[in-house]
Structure 1
Amino acid sequence: MLEKNLEILKERYPESFQALSENTQKVNFNIIDAKNGDKTAEVQVGDSFILVHSKYDPKREAERIVEEINLNGVSSIIVLGFGLGYHVVNLFQKLKDKDIKIFVVATTPLLFKEALKYQDFTELFSSDNFYLLLSNKINSNELIAFIEDNVDMVFENIAVSFLPSLVKYAKEDYGIIMESLKYIYKILGANKYTVTNRGGEWESNLLQNLYLFLTKPGINVLHGTSQDKPAILVAAGPSLDKNIDLLKEVKGKALIIAADAVLKKLLKHDIVPDIVTVIDGYKHILKYFEGLDYNRLNDVVLVTSPQFYGHVIEEWPGPVVFSPGYGVGEEIIGWVESFSDYKGRIPTGGSVAHLSFGLACILKADPIVFVGQDLALTGGVTHASGSDYRKSLKEQFKDTNRKYYKIKDINGEDVWTRDDFYLFLEWFNKFIKDLKDNGNQTEFIDATEGGARIEGTEIMTLKEVINLYCQENNNINKEVLNKINSYQVKWNKDIILEFEKVIEDVKEIEVLARRGLQLIDQILDNQFSEKIKEFNSQLTLINNQINKLGNNVMFFESQIYDIYKDIRFEVENNMEILNRLVTFYNKLIEGSNNSLEILNIHYKRLIDEGDK
């Protein structure tokens, strides 16, 4: 039994298999017989022992644990604690014919190995819907990555179940796990809000930018370009008013990376950044680019999400570098990259400041210095003076859709922040900790001179940073420009044939959707006729054909965002099913028409370029 389990574990989960060889025993435990003859375990906590499973009937206890899980609409279940695996096996047997993922987080490798002696887990371990994180020391960032890398971080519906005894014998681990899950839920909520409210606009922008994305470099080309040279990351927090003029002294001596919201303010103070970052493809960002003197920006690099507005990218006078993200349009991005080159990825937590930080890390800049990164309502305001979004504390508190917290500032004093700022702060804290835990030696400095305390940073004034790190001209911006200008456009002309196929498939989806609407009319007109079965069969066939062409829905996925959740669940009322299908078909028709127009424009542009 043990050898069979170990063999499949080694094949499917090599890291977990490696954890079994660790000699450190986190807990003392004994395997004992339950009253019904099954095995159970007891773990030592202090001077006493705590039962991991029932001493009477562990399998019946496992049934009760699983019965308490609300599976309605769930797409993933996170199980905390493995013990001897009774509850996990019961859950798997209940779900193995359903498309629901099971994530198990186990904190006692030696107890886990003991479990492998008593049950056959090969079917569980072989399942594509089973994921295992086994570690003697739970790391919050590792746990978050374990979940985020394997779920849809927009629409995933996650349930959590835990072995009740885990709370007693692994309190510290349980606390870390629960805090990490809270963070994941926050990110899910923020992503879902963003996609449902902005997804359509972002997707439209991405489609408009397909040709540009195919032919422009990605952030991969900048890897290591500024190694061991300082980078100043400028954001639009209220403390920027304290030290903005000092940034003139660092020009040419450090790389100035400015968030979009602060560009106009910098130019007004005669400070031209080296790089401007933009991540949000939403219309309110456009005001940051209106009325700019483009003559001053010929050598300024725009690092942008491909979901930003194409006309701004086309008009930008300096070099453009794409930084694809995760979420909206990810399938389209991967599709384009399969015919060109991998552009690279920078993980972000929803803020353009995260993009600036991730970019500095890719550049291998050192030190990385925050300026204007308050993440709090410093001095009772939200943003620096001149910002379109600057509000007083009183004005901000009128927004009852947000939550507000008091946190510690750089001096250990209380300062107000709002929920989105706090989420951005948590991201910085986790990301910096993860970098340091993995041996990164970069020095992270907070020279904001106010605002929230960013964990893992050294507090300094901007003047101190300049005196210590920015005394010599280093031509750092020229190195970045040379790297970008030397980029060779790479794209495979097979993409032209792929465009032809996609265009035909999208046309077919529209035809099928229109036929679906006609059949629903016939079904409604013949509800009591013998023909109803034939119509239902035809409708099922159409849905199957649409499903086969489903990959092409990526070009207009936003059209179905608002019914995405509904079409995942089964309903009892046939009329309700038909009503949802009508909505679905109409949105497929609308999405097909919109995407076909854009796809044809890019197709013709590629044909013209290929003829040169």
Structure 2
Amino acid sequence: MPSFFESNLKYLRTRWPEYAELLSNRPSAQKNYESDDFSSLPSIRIWPHTRLVIFFGLGTGAGLENYMKEFTQRPELETLLIERQPETFARLLENIDLSTWLQSPRVQVWLGLTGAQTQLNSITYFNENNRAAYWSAIQIVAHPEIAKENEEYFRNIEAFCNEAMKDASNAFGNSPDDALLGLQNSLLNGDWIRKSPSWIQFRNRLPDVPAFLIASGPSLEQEFERLKLARDEGVIICADSALRPLLDHGIVPDFVTALERVPEVAVFFRGVATKQTTLVSLPVLYPEAYRSYAGPKVMAFRDYPYFEMFGVSETEMQMIGPSCTHLSFQFAHMLGCSPLVLVGQDLSYDPENFRSHVRGTGFADRDKPNNPEELLNKQEYFWVDGNHGKKVLTNHALAMFRAWFENLFAKIDDRTIINCSLKGAKIKYCSVGSLQSVLDNLSTKWDRASFENKFTSLTSTRERIRKTDWINGLKEDVRWIDRLQKLLDTGLTQASNAQANLALARALETMILKLVNNDRHFKKLLLIIMTPLLFQIEVAKNKAASACVNDANYTNVLVHHYAQMLAEIKLWSLKLKDLLLQTINIDT
């Protein structure tokens, strides 16, 4: 019987060189399974609505050929193969020709990973390609002997995947209205974006300098006196809601971060002395907040493709997270700072008076104590472990922020992260200590004067793209939307006039996939706006498909939901066209 090991290893090495290295010595199996037991996979019948098949072990792969054939015939199907033992995977490579499979971008392999590594892989995997929408369209195929022997390992992976999908779904934004508002604000801030200093200019400017990252949690009230000393020890970066309380206590932050697109954010800067503090903000910030800010300004960029229209390069964009303190953390990391010290990052309510924030943020309702019983009567409030050894009260939004921090912290192994929010919720992947102990143990002083001397050059403005080129680019975007309308009308006509059949469903699906994955203009202009809505429709489609009792029902579900996607793309692209035309008319 021929061995396929070397040919499979060749393709494995192309995509996963670390796995190829692991297997290059051809390890022999540590356990000799009976061939009948080891070779048998359960009968694999892939449901019509399945989008992702996860294998918990494959053994020698007998029975896999039929699945591989179906995989080839169904371009929407993705596969995740998880094998704990490298020697078992080596036997699979010997027995089955997987060369085509291993080359497919629709196949992913996790081999010999620890529990912590599978958790990180889950976060990355389900944040890519809208996979979080597969929630009700995932099918797990478990090899009987391998899954039984590694029961806890695979059970934890299943929990990691569920948690990652839940967190990833939160990352798709609140709604297309919210996303469109962000683009509208960016267009109104267009002249500033085109000329703004970029946060990338600060990369590694403060290597190994301590950074104190100040949020507006209620525990901040106990730290004002110590933070006065911290300014001599490192750089202070605060969230917009913490700026006013810090200034009221005589503490001038070096940087303040802001990213909200709603009018309320302007309250944090109105009537506040900001000339000595640099604003690090996203382009989606409410325009009045820019106008009311008197100090220096630096622009940070999420990985949103539409920033390309302002001349922003890919190197300037990165994933940031949902809150100002996530932006503060990412900026401090970009500066090269260490340790990264969290202060007032409670992510929970005060354990004594149940206030949500430090007093003095500018919103009177945040200054008031809360009744925990009244909060707990609402579904979104619950108890979690606190840093002081007791439970603290939190809510779903704060828990989501905490999950984002844990995802960020888990990927960082070159910095020290210390959480000094002693009354707050416990955050994984960082140590806990008092701010006083951090100050007592800092061994180096940073040269603030030297950094401030360089500051003018770091914040100097430059024109990313000429105004005439920017306006001409917007006009070309409008012409693309006009062409898009014709394509969408064709698809909608087909969906409404033709009898539903699987060929039609797949044609509509292909039209949508080409737009979303391959059309440069769609990615630049509409992907961020449409993603929350397309995600919701995809989830609804998968849920409805899972309840289908026959092929005709399934086909009707597909056609209905794909037509709904096309109609929503048409609606929101026309709204975008109106925004672009308004910007062109205002600026010309």
- TM-score if structure 1 supplies the norm length? 0.76
Give, as a single letter, the amino acid of the residue that structure 2 aligns with 1:152: N
Q: 1:416 aligns with which of 389, 393, 398?
A: 393
Question: 1:480 offset after TM fit, Å?
Answer: 7.2
Question: 1:143 offset after TM fit, Å?
Answer: 1.5
Q: 2:108 aligns with which of 131, 156, 167?
A: 131
- What is the rounded CA distance, in whole Å, between the counterparts of 1:342 and 1:479 in structure 2? 29
Answer whether contact 1:243 1:462 (CA < 8 A) is retained.
yes
Question: 1:200 offset after TM fit, Å?
Answer: 3.8
Deviations 1:286-343 (CA, angstroms, capped at 9, x unpaired): 32422735672124222223333234235433333333335xxx3323x447x54335
Question: What residue is the counterpart of 1:384 in the other structure?
Answer: 358
- What is the rounded CA distance, in whole Å, between the counterparts of 1:405 and 1:435 in structure 2? 28
Gap change, CA 1:301 and 1:552, over 3 Å in 2: same
- What is the rounded CA distance, in whole Å, between the counterparts of 1:151 and 1:347 in structure 2? 15
Matched, 1:454 2:430: no
Gap change, CA 1:18 and 1:287, over 3 Å in 2: same
Question: 1:356 offset after TM fit, Å?
Answer: 1.6
Question: 1:124 offset after TM fit, Å?
Answer: 1.1
Which moves more between the two structures, 250-259 or 584-593?
Answer: 584-593
Deviations 1:341-394 (CA, angstroms, capped at 9, x unpaired): 335345445333222222211111122111111123332423323454644423
Question: What SS does the aligned partner of 2:289 have?
Answer: helix
Question: 1:504 offset after TM fit, Å?
Answer: 1.0
Question: 1:233 offset after TM fit, Å?
Answer: 0.7
Answer whether contact 1:200 1:559 (CA < 8 A) is retained.
no
- What is the rounded CA distance, in whole Å, between the counterparts of 1:574 and 1:182 in structure 2? 28
Q: 1:159 aligns with which of 138, 143, 146?
A: 138
Question: 1:488 offset after TM fit, Å?
Answer: 4.1
Question: What residue is the counterpart of 1:474 in the other structure?
Answer: 448
Give, as a single letter, the amino acid of the residue that structure 2 aligns with 1:14: P
- What is the rounded CA distance, in whole Å, between the counterparts of 2:374 and 2:177 in structure 1? 24
Question: What residue is the counterpart of 1:396 in the other structure?
Answer: 375
Question: What residue is the counterpart of 2:72 in the other structure?
Answer: 96
Question: What residue is the counterpart of 2:31 in the other structure?
Answer: 29
Question: What residue is the counterpart of 1:484 in the other structure?
Answer: 458
Task: Report 1:520-531 matches (<5 A).
Answer: none
Question: What residue is the counterpart of 1:236 in the other structure?
Answer: 216
- What is the rounded CA distance, in whole Å, between the counterparts of 2:398 and 2:99 in structure 1? 45
Gap change, CA 1:406 and 1:93, over 3 Å in 2: same
- What is the rounded CA distance, in whole Å, between the counterparts of 1:209 and 1:89 in structure 2? 56
Question: 1:129 offset after TM fit, Å?
Answer: 1.2
Question: What SS does the aligned partner of 2:218 have?
Answer: coil
Matched, 1:84 2:60: yes
Task: Report 1:271-290 matches (<5 A).
Answer: 271-281=251-261, 283=262, 286-290=263-267
Q: 2:579 aligns with which of 575, 581, 598?
A: 598
- What is the rounded CA distance, in whole Å, between the counterparts of 1:156 and 1:495 in structure 2? 38
- Equivalent pairs counted in the alignment come to 553
Question: 1:140 offset after TM fit, Å?
Answer: 3.8
Task: Report 1:248-267 matches (<5 A).
Answer: 248-267=228-247
Question: What residue is the counterpart of 1:13 in the other structure?
Answer: 16
Question: What residue is the counterpart of 1:47 in the other structure?
Answer: none
Gap change, CA 1:352 and 1:398, over 3 Å in 2: farther
- What is the rounded CA distance, in whole Å, between the counterparts of 1:71 and 1:301 in structure 2? 55
Answer whether contact 2:234 2:445 (CA < 8 A) is retained.
no
Answer whether contact 1:105 1:132 (CA < 8 A) is retained.
yes
Question: What SS does the aligned partner of 1:377 have?
Answer: coil
Gap change, CA 1:202 and 1:434, over 3 Å in 2: same
Question: What residue is the counterpart of 1:312 in the other structure?
Answer: 289
Question: What SS does the aligned partner of 1:378 have?
Answer: coil
Question: What residue is the counterpart of 2:549 in the other structure?
Answer: none
Gap change, CA 1:293 and 1:500, over 3 Å in 2: closer
- What is the rounded CA distance, in whole Å, between the counterparts of 2:412 and 2:511 in structure 1? 46
Question: What SS does the aligned partner of 2:351 have?
Answer: helix
Give, as a single letter, the amino acid of the residue that structure 2 aligns with 1:134: L
Task: Report 1:287-436 matches (<5 A).
Answer: 287-290=264-267, 292-293=269-270, 296-326=273-303, 330-333=304-307, 335-336=308-309, 339-380=311-352, 381=354, 382-386=356-360, 388=363, 390=366, 391-400=370-379, 402-407=380-385, 409-436=386-413
Answer whether contact 2:209 2:446 (CA < 8 A) is retained.
no
Question: 1:404 offset after TM fit, Å?
Answer: 1.4
- What is the rounded CA distance, in whole Å, between the counterparts of 1:207 and 1:315 in structure 2? 18
Question: What SS does the aligned partner of 2:252 have?
Answer: coil
Give, as a single letter, the amino acid of the residue that structure 1 aligns with 2:22: A
- What is the rounded CA distance, in whole Å, between the counterparts of 1:455 and 1:350 in structure 2? 18
Give, as a single letter, the amino acid of the residue that structure 2 aligns with 1:396: L
Gap change, CA 1:477 and 1:195, over 3 Å in 2: farther
Answer whether contact 2:478 2:577 (CA < 8 A) is retained.
yes
Give, as a single letter, the amino acid of the residue that structure 2 aligns with 1:411: H
Answer whether contact 1:155 1:188 (CA < 8 A) is retained.
no
Matched, 1:198 2:178: yes
Task: Report 1:436-451 matches (<5 A).
Answer: 436=413, 440=414, 442-451=415-424
- What is the rounded CA distance, in whole Å, between the counterparts of 1:560 and 1:474 in structure 2? 43
- What is the rounded CA distance, in whole Å, between the counterparts of 2:280 and 2:293 in structure 1? 11
Answer whether contact 1:219 1:345 (CA < 8 A) is retained.
no
Answer whether contact 2:126 2:165 (CA < 8 A) is retained.
no
Question: 1:601 offset after TM fit, Å?
Answer: 5.4
Matched, 1:185 2:187: no
- What is the rounded CA distance, in whole Å, between the counterparts of 1:479 and 1:518 in structure 2? 64
Question: What residue is the counterpart of 1:40 in the other structure?
Answer: none
- What is the rounded CA distance, in whole Å, between the counterparts of 2:129 and 2:146 in structure 1? 25
Question: What SS does the aligned partner of 1:450 have?
Answer: coil
Give, as a single letter, the amino acid of the residue that structure 1 aligns with 2:70: K
Give, as a single letter, the amino acid of the residue that structure 2 aligns with 1:316: Y
Question: 1:519 offset after TM fit, Å?
Answer: 9.2
Give, as a single letter, the amino acid of the residue that structure 1 aligns with 2:481: V
Question: 1:118 offset after TM fit, Å?
Answer: 1.0
Deviations 1:552-582 (CA, angstroms, capped at 9, x unpaired): 4453453685466547678859999998788
- What is the rounded CA distance, in whole Å, between the counterparts of 1:117 and 1:398 in structure 2? 59
Question: What SS does the aligned partner of 2:32 have?
Answer: strand
- What is the rounded CA distance, in whole Å, between the counterparts of 2:177 and 2:575 in structure 1? 19
Answer whether contact 1:78 1:159 (CA < 8 A) is retained.
yes
Give, as a single letter, the amino acid of the residue that structure 2 aligns with 1:366: S
Question: What SS does the aligned partner of 2:329 have?
Answer: helix
Question: 1:3 offset after TM fit, Å?
Answer: 1.9
Answer whether contact 2:215 2:343 (CA < 8 A) is retained.
yes
Deviations 1:144-186 (CA, angstroms, capped at 9, x unpaired): 3541464326645462513343443224532542342132022
Gap change, CA 1:91 and 1:483, over 3 Å in 2: farther
- What is the rounded CA distance, in whole Å, between the counterparts of 2:111 and 2:274 in structure 1? 51
Give, as a single letter, the amino acid of the residue that structure 1 aligns with 2:417: F
Gap change, CA 1:189 and 1:266, over 3 Å in 2: same
Question: What residue is the counterpart of 2:484 in the other structure?
Answer: 509
- What is the rounded CA distance, in whole Å, between the counterparts of 2:430 and 2:495 in structure 1? 61
- What is the rounded CA distance, in whole Å, between the counterparts of 1:479 and 1:52 in structure 2? 69
Q: What are the ranges of 5 or more consecutive residues in structure 1 without an aligned counterpart?
A: 35-50
Answer whether contact 1:369 1:445 (CA < 8 A) is retained.
yes
Deviations 1:86-111 (CA, angstroms, capped at 9, x unpaired): 46554332232322221222221121
Answer whether contact 1:241 1:384 (CA < 8 A) is retained.
yes
Q: What are the ranges of 5 or more consecutive residues in structure 2 without an aligned counterpart?
A: 546-551
Gap change, CA 1:246 and 1:514, over 3 Å in 2: same
Question: What residue is the counterpart of 1:42 in the other structure?
Answer: none
Answer whether contact 1:446 1:458 (CA < 8 A) is retained.
yes
